[in-house]
Structure 1
Amino acid sequence: MKVLLDIKDSKASFVMELLQSFPFIKTKPLSPYKSDVLEGVKEAVEEMTLIKAGKLKGRPAKELFDEL
């Protein structure tokens, strides 16, 4: 199982040290770029969920492409 944690910078080194002390946990910090990309994908998935549930209005793809 993979878990993504959002940790305050001031506590990050403590949490990383704690996690690395367990032999059954592998840690791998994300670069700022990868973190931003993951956050963007997460927001997009949340928006799609709201659109499918009818709680948010979507836009036709043609309208989106016309803007480009």
Structure 2
Amino acid sequence: MQFSVNVPDEKVSFFLELIKNLRFVKIEPVTVQEEEVTAEQLKAEIKEAVNEMKLVRQGKKKSRPIEDLLNELQH
């Protein structure tokens, strides 16, 4: 079984030392790479969102309930 554990930076050494002493635990570090968004990418995404809203208001594009979006983000 795998777990994801978030440990405060100041407690990482303690936590690693603790679990290293458990012979049945296998430690595999996972790195998370954050994607940097440039100002140009952000502008393009905002422009696209504004255009989509215009199409929805004009009836040329169908919208969906906010509840659907929130449920999608939770999963």
Q: What TM-score range do you get, normalising by the shorter chain?
A: 0.5 to 0.7
Matches within 5 A, 1:1-68: 33-68=38-73
Larger radius of gyration: 2
Q: TM-score, normalised by structure 2?
A: 0.48
Q: TM-score, normalised by structure 1?
A: 0.52
Whole-angstrom CA distance in 2 between matches of 1:59 and 1:33: 29
Structure 1 segments unaligned to the other structure (5+ residues):
1-31
Identity of aligned residues (%): 41
User: Considering only aligned residues, what root-mean-square deviation do their CA atoms show, in Å?
Assistant: 1.2
Structure with the bigger RCO (C-alpha within 8 Å, sep 6+) is 1
Structure (1/2) with the larger helix percentage: 1
